[in-house]
Amino acid sequence: MVALSLFDEQEKKEIQVSASNRKLLQVIDSFLTSKHKTQDDVAGVMVVVGQGSFTSTRLSVTAANTFGYVRRIPLLSISEQQATDVQSLIPILLDQPLGQYISATYSGTPNIGNLS
């Protein structure tokens, strides 16, 4: 499941798409297009960390960091509780220094196979 939100100070538009992690970039592009937005309209990116699977968290953080680097926009990692009122976090997001990247925080120990 991929969950995305577009928001400004007044409103928040959300979607949840049943898609694999491999389709994350396609889902982002389709979501922006469906809201008549482009990458140029994105002024910053927030990512919920500490929830979800290891792979989903890692991919979300990597996509956000790449987007922030390429577009030269600020990034902010937030908790699931903070995601309920993202509009109030916009000033904090926009105050983040450019070139500061998000580090993934995981909800549990990654299970990447038996390494012994």
Q: Strand 12-17 relative to strand 2-7: parallel, antiparallel, unpaired?
A: antiparallel
CATH number of 2-94: 3.30.420.40
The residue-averaged pLDDT of 76-95 equals: 90
Could you read off the pLDDT of 20-56 as tens digits, one per residue?
777 888 888 888 898 889 888 999 999 988 877 777 8
Extents of the domains making up the chain? 2-94
Q: Which of 17, 2, 13, 109 is nearest to 63 (CA)?
A: 2
Phi-psi region of 115 (alpha: psi -120 to 50; beta: other; left: phi over 0): alpha
Q: What's the whole-model pTM score?
A: 0.81
Could you read off the pLDDT of 60-83 as tens digits, one per residue?
899 899 989 999 999 999 988 998
Half-sphere exposure at residue 88, Cβ-oriented, CA atoms within 13 angstroms: 6
Q: Is the model's pLDDT at 13 over the cut of 90? A: no
Q: Is the model's pLDDT at 115 over the cut of 60? A: no
Q: Is the model's pLDDT at 95 over the cut of 90? A: yes
Helices (H), 24-95: 24-34, 54-71, 90-94
Q: Is the model's pLDDT at 94 over the cut of 90? A: yes
Indicate the pLDDT class of residue 108, thresholds 50, 70 and 90. Answer: low
Q: Is 16 exposed, middle or buried (0-12, 13-18, 19+ CB in 10 A)?
A: exposed
Instruction: Show the beta-strand stretches assigned E in the chain.
Output: 2-7, 12-17, 45-48, 75-78
